[in-house]
Structure 1
Amino acid sequence: MSYIKPKFRHPKLPTNALGYTVADYDGSISTLCAGCGHDSISAAIRNACFLSSIQPHRIAKMSGIGCSSKTPTYFLGKSHGFNSVHGRMPSVATGASVANRDLTYIGISGDGDTASIGMGQFIHLIRRNVNMTYIVANNGCYGLTKGQDSATTDLGSISKIGFENPFDGIDLASLALLQGASFVGRSFSGDKDQLVPLIRAAMAHKGFAFIDVVSPCVTFANHAGASKSYSATRENIDPMPLDFVPMREEIRTQYDAGTSQAVTLHDGSVIHLHKASSDYAANDRQAALSEVQTANAEGKILTGLLYLDPDSQNLTHTLQLATRPLNELGKNELCPGSHVLNSINEGLR
């Protein structure tokens, strides 16, 4: 078997506003199990970056350890990347975003990497409102180490060897809402029509954007009784279709009153929510948390844009950092001399 991707591309591939083709956002050939939902997430990220016309070298991919954290190899091969220690991706992402505020940061994690060993760091990433898109490929098991239950495995879910999970699973979307995340979404790896615009909206958001993606493990959690299998997810999903309109495009909507909600992001782009419930407000944190928990109680998975804070202030604004990336500052700007230090000290007396 060859793992070398052919370099030939059709000469008439469509290009985006920057002149790139979607092939320019490809990575290496995936070595994950055939049919893995994580590969669908990788494809969605690639398509989202292509459609949003982001230069590949202006993107930084961050990950931890696990099947999900291997995926940055499989998309955006021309982008910066850092595969960190298990559960410690938030620290690396925070430091990188402070050093260079102008890059687009995409963090890829898993339910083990985030909800177990990385839980403490994940909470502080939310608290600091780091400017990044954080995607959890959530399959409810440790697929890299033979399918043990993870912290997000649902109560009563049956493992491949027949054991029933006796514990409640951690709902990461509810946790993100409760802890104050400024953008919270949920999707299904098999729903690219919803997932791609949701990722585009997350990347346009100025602050911490969290997306929990149900991503079935075809090897260890795709059997009868597994609550995050393809069949169980499709039966219980409660989708909220989305359209994302960048600020450079003319914004139009022809949807009937009461069936669509337009949410304006910080950069002027708009995401349209098309839903069955006409009273859902994407900027009401308490209502969003209530909707998610109601769906959970009914055994359903509510997906779409769950919450957006219209007044979000990210970490660089909170810390009043320089408006230019630190790696572009010269010696005199970084070390202005003792007279500046003396004036600072005098101001603290």
Structure 2
Amino acid sequence: MSYLKPLFKHPRLPKNKLGYTLKEYEGSLSTLCAGCGHDSISAAIVQACYEMAVEPHKVAKISGIGCSSKTPTYFLGNSHGFNSVHGRMPSVATGASMANKDMQYFGVSGDGDSASIGMGQFVHVIRRNLNMVYIVMNNGCYGLTKGQDSATADQGSKSKAGSINPFQAIDLASMAIELGASFVAQSFSGDKQQLVPLIKAAMQHKGFAFLNVISPCVTFNNNPGSTKSYDYVREHIEATSTLDFVPEMPEIKASYESGKSSRIALHDGSLIQLNKLATDWDPENRISAVNALQQARAKQEILTGLLYVNSEWKDLHGVLNTYHKPLNRLDESDLCPGEENLLSINAGYR
């Protein structure tokens, strides 16, 4: 059996405005289990980057350890990548961003990588509002070590081995909003129509964009009784809104009522088009977003869509007021202020 992709491509494949086909955004063939939700997320990332005409060499993919952290191999094969230590991906992403803020950063993690060993790192990368897209491929189990319950497994959920989880689940979306993430969304790996626009909007958002994607493990957590199985998610999913992403348009501000549409502007003028379904939820209000998540949880629903967005908060570079040029491209003229300026600085300390 060959794991090599054919080099041939049809000469009439559609191209984006950069002249690239979808194949230029793909990676190696996946070695994950057939039907794994993680592969669907990888395909959504490929589709979003292709449609956004992202230049692959301006993207950096960073991951930790786990089934999810293998996926950067399977998308954007022409981009930069770094597979880091278990749970430490946010530190590597922070260092990379500090050195070169002109890159588009994709952090890929799992519920074990972020909600257990990497929890401390997850908390602080949110607090600092690092400009990156952070995707958690959440399947509620440790797939690499034979399917034990992870920290995001719901209380009462039944494992493949038949044991019932006695512990409360860590709700990563609620936690992200509480800690100050400026973009929080939740989706399902089987809902590409919703997931692709969310990834596009996350890429255009200046700040920490968090996507918690329920991604069923077909091998260890797709059994009756599991709350992360395909059947359970499909039966209990509740979307906050239907949405689309509208790139590069002037900002439009509007108030709207239940059942009506609204466009929420991102930093660069790009828009998220929402068709509001709920009467008591506002994606620009943190308290409203948290309440909507808790109410859905009480009804055993999985709330998906754009949960919260704030385009006013500064990202880490804005908070630190870093130099306009990326640090890895500074030369002597940038680093040396000159004798006059140095004398003036020293005089200020006398």
Instruction: Give the TM interval when normalised to the shorter protein.
Output: over 0.9
For residues 257 and 119 of structure 2, what CA distance do their matches in structure 1 show?
Answer: 42
Going from structure 1 to structure 2, the CA distance change for 1:326 and 1:233 (only over 3 Å counts) comes to same
Match of 1:59 in 2: 59
1:326 equivalent to 2:324? Answer no
Secondary structure in 2 aligned to 1:241? strand
Match of 2:156 in 1: 156
Aligned partners of 2:251 and 2:269 also within 8 Å = no
Aligned partners of 2:141 and 2:221 also within 8 Å = yes
For residues 280 and 113 of structure 1, what CA distance do their matches in structure 2 show?
Answer: 30
Match of 2:243 in 1: 242
Moved more, 275-284 or 262-271: 275-284
Equivalences for residues 40-55 of structure 1 within 5 A:
40-55=40-55
Secondary structure in 2 aligned to 1:324? coil
For residues 268-311 of structure 1, give each alpha carbon's deviation from its aligned partner in whole angstroms, at most 9, with x where no partner exists. 01111223224531100000000001001100010000000120
- C-alpha displacement of 1:343: 3.9
Aligned partners of 1:259 and 1:277 also within 8 Å = no
Number of matched pairs: 347
Match of 2:207 in 1: 207
Going from structure 1 to structure 2, the CA distance change for 1:330 and 1:217 (only over 3 Å counts) comes to same
For residues 296 and 251 of structure 2, what CA distance do their matches in structure 1 show?
Answer: 35
Q: Which amino acid aligns with 1:206?
A: K
Going from structure 1 to structure 2, the CA distance change for 1:122 and 1:341 (only over 3 Å counts) comes to farther
Equivalences for residues 49-198 of structure 1 within 5 A:
49-198=49-198
Secondary structure in 2 aligned to 1:292? helix
1:302 equivalent to 2:310? Answer no
Q: 5+ residue gaps in structure 2? A: none
How many percent of aligned residue pairs carry the same amino acid? 63
**Structure-1-length-normalised TM-score:** 0.95
1:314 equivalent to 2:315? Answer yes
For residues 193-220 of structure 1, give each alpha carbon's deviation from its aligned partner in whole angstroms, at most 9, with x where no partner exists. 0000000000000000000000000000
- C-alpha displacement of 1:248: 5.4
Match of 1:266 in 2: 267
- C-alpha displacement of 1:182: 0.4
- C-alpha displacement of 1:33: 0.2
For residues 249 and 297 of structure 1, what CA distance do their matches in structure 2 show?
Answer: 39
For residues 176 and 194 of structure 2, what CA distance do their matches in structure 1 show?
Answer: 20
- C-alpha displacement of 1:155: 0.2
Secondary structure in 1 aligned to 2:300? coil
Match of 1:276 in 2: 277
Secondary structure in 2 aligned to 1:212? strand
Secondary structure in 1 aligned to 2:65? coil
For residues 18-43 of structure 1, give each alpha carbon's deviation from its aligned partner in whole angstroms, at most 9, with x where no partner exists. 11111110100000000000000000
Aligned partners of 1:193 and 1:241 also within 8 Å = no
Q: Which amino acid aligns with 2:328?
A: N
For residues 162 and 298 of structure 2, what CA distance do their matches in structure 1 show?
Answer: 24
Moved more, 324-333 or 306-315: 324-333
For residues 334 and 245 of structure 1, what CA distance do their matches in structure 2 show?
Answer: 40
**Structure-2-length-normalised TM-score:** 0.95
Q: 5+ residue gaps in structure 1? A: none
Aligned partners of 1:43 and 1:75 also within 8 Å = yes
Query: RMSD value over aligned CA atoms?
Result: 1.9
